[in-house]
């Protein structure tokens, strides 16, 4: 609290500044998922994906995005969600910026940008939604139903795609 003096009267001021974030919301198997808009580079329709041999099964391949080679990940498979093999229904690729560089995520449908306040974020329920809670920063109960869901799951991109220096050094030697 700060003191403010106006015309000789002092009054206590409460700072009521709310932290707001914007997230891009999208659907995966009818689950409403959100990623911080700061991590989003582009949303694009599904492009030609070239498979790459000897990669983990959740990596679908690479695509050429304006001269840049971007790996494309089947996020459903990576998170262990059902219907991961049905990629024909996934029409969009969300290009995100991670510690590993740009990565494309196959998603079902883009819902839009949503503004959230930090105080609205609740702790993640433990595995009740099928996604490991270590990849979730929190959940938000939304006012209106979006895609028949009123629970927005916030993914932690830094924990999903991280650069492990020790692991990279061990592989090099």
- Specify the CATH number for the domain of residue 93: 2.40.50.180
Which is more confidently placed, 67 or 6?
67
**Rounded-to-integer distance, Cα 106 and Cα 98, Å:** 15
The β-bridge relationship of strands 68-73 and 101-107 is parallel
Residue 37 lies in a domain: yes
What average pLDDT does the segment 108-124 reach? 86
Residue 173: pLDDT over 50: no
Residue 50: pLDDT over 80: yes
Note the pLDDT of residue 91. 81
Note the pLDDT of residue 77. 87
Contacts of 57 (CB under 8 A, 6+ apart): 77
DSSP states along 72-104: EE-HHHHHT-TTTT-GGG--EEEEEEETTEEEE
* Total number of domains constituting the chain: 1
Q: Which residues pair with 161 in a beta bridge?
A: none
Residue 90 lies in a domain: yes
Residue 10 lies in a domain: no
Residue 168 lies in a domain: no
Note the pLDDT of residue 2. 53
Residue 21: pLDDT over 70: yes
pLDDT level of residue 98 (50, 70, 90 thresholds): confident
Residue 97: pLDDT over 60: yes
Which is more confidently placed, 150 or 123?
123
Residue 165: pLDDT over 80: no
Residue 173 lies in a domain: no
């Amino acid at each position: 609290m700060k003191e403010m003096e106006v015309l000789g009267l002092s009054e206590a001021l409460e700072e009521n500044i709310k932290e707001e974030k914007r997230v891009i919301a999208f659907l995966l198997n009818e689950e409403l998922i959100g990623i911080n808009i700061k991590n989003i580079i582009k949303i694009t329709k599904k492009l030609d994906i070239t498979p790459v041999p000897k990669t983990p099964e959740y990596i679908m391949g690479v695509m050429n995005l304006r001269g840049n080679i971007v790996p494309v990940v089947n996020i459903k498979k990576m998170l262990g969600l059902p219907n991961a093999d049905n990629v024909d229904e996934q029409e969009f690729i969300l290009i995100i910026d991670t510690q590993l560089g740009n990565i494309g995520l196959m998603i079902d449908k883009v819902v839009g940008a949503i503004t959230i306040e930090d105080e609205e974020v609740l702790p993640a329920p433990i595995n009740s939604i099928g996604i490991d809670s270590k990849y979730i920063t929190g959940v938000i109960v939304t006012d209106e139903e979006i895609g028949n869901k009123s629970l927005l799951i916030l993914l932690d991109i830094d924990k999903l795609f991280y650069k492990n220096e020790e692991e990279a050094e061990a592989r090099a030697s």
